[in-house]
Amino acid sequence: MNRIPRILSVCLLLGSAGLYGCAGHQNSEQALQSANADFQKVKGDTNVLRSAPRDVIRAGELLARAERLSSYVGSSDDVSHYAYLSSRYSAIATEHSQLLLNQEKLARLELERQRLQLALREAKLSGAQQQGKWAEDQVISLSTQQGERGLVMTLGDMLFDTGRAELKSSANRTVLKVVQFLQFNPKRVVRIEGYTDSTGDSQENLQLSRDRAQAVADVLSDLGIEDERIQVEGYGNQFPIDANTSEHGRAQNRRVEIVFSDDKGKLSAAR
């Protein structure tokens, strides 16, 4: 066998091994640098220091370990490993800090929401009182029946403008009654069902009935009833309670019904 190719191949082998070692070293050097940059960033952020001090300390310890190891030969895997762990702790610290900031913000907004709810309730109450006897007549069609579907309250057609989904202010009194009832009966939940007459496109009617039911649900939610207690359904022109042939019948069919659960929170099945 010729010696030259053998020597050549040994040289090649050694050379590639050296290259590989070099590449490993470069990688670990890079990992160390980026871990260091990550750590400097969290160390300089007072918010992160305040909310996640332990994670920042761990990041620092692991970085120091990686730096110590980097002075030894053949430790590039370990250096990369500890640099990686350090970077992860820096990232975790950043996330924890962001979470805490969000939670603090949420608590502030929640207080603001309670304040506005109270103000809105007072505004609606004083509005309802001013309307006085007249308002009582306005909602006379508001009727409550106890049937197989449970307790059902019907909000009549005059509480909405034609084709619109926003509740008129004449609905204040009714809505306040419902809110009060739900606050006294914290286990009860409601399903709000919208209905229209058969005039017009049935897809549009379906949408309008849903929007009107949602509008009632929004007001209840704005006045402090938890969203989890409110379901919303739109039935369009299905389930009329009167003939759609007369103006009176159609007015009867345009309605929003509030179905109350029993006092254990069990609702009758949706239609």
Partner 1 sequence: MSVFLKVRFLFVALATASLFGCANDPAPIEQLKLTEQAVAQATAVGATDDEPDMAAAQAKLAQAQANMADQSYKQARMQAEQAELDARLAEARVLTEKSEEQLTQVNTRLDRLRKQLGAAQ
CB of 102 to partner 1, least distance (A): 4
CB of 76 to partner 1, least distance (A): 13
148 in Cβ contact with 160 (< 8 Å): no
Instruction: Name 143's bridge partners.
Output: 154
CB of 206 to partner 1, least distance (A): 23
At residue 166, what are phi and psi to the nearest 5 degrees?
-80, 135
153 in Cβ contact with 258 (< 8 Å): yes
Residue among 114 and 144 whose Cβ is closer to partner 1: 114
Residue among 221 and 268 whose Cβ is closer to partner 1: 221
Residue among 41 and 113 whose Cβ is closer to partner 1: 113
Residue among 125 and 270 whose Cβ is closer to partner 1: 125
Alpha-carbon gap, residue 87 to 64, rounded angstroms: 12
Residue among 95 and 161 whose Cβ is closer to partner 1: 95
Alpha-carbon gap, residue 136 to 200, rounded angstroms: 31
CB of 149 to partner 1, least distance (A): 29
CB of 34 to partner 1, least distance (A): 15
3-state DSSP assignment of residue 77? helix
CB of 77 to partner 1, least distance (A): 8
Alpha-carbon gap, residue 134 to 137, rounded angstroms: 5
Both tokens assigned to 1: 């066998």
Type and span of the H or E element at 27: helix 3-43
Both tokens assigned to 100: 């805490």
Give residues in contact with partner 1 (CB under 8 A). Answer: 77, 81, 84-85, 88-89, 91-92, 95-96, 98-99, 102-103, 105-106, 109-110, 112-113, 116-117, 119-120, 123-124, 127, 169, 172, 218-219, 221-222
Alpha-carbon gap, residue 188 to 259, rounded angstroms: 10
Residue among 40 and 102 whose Cβ is closer to partner 1: 102
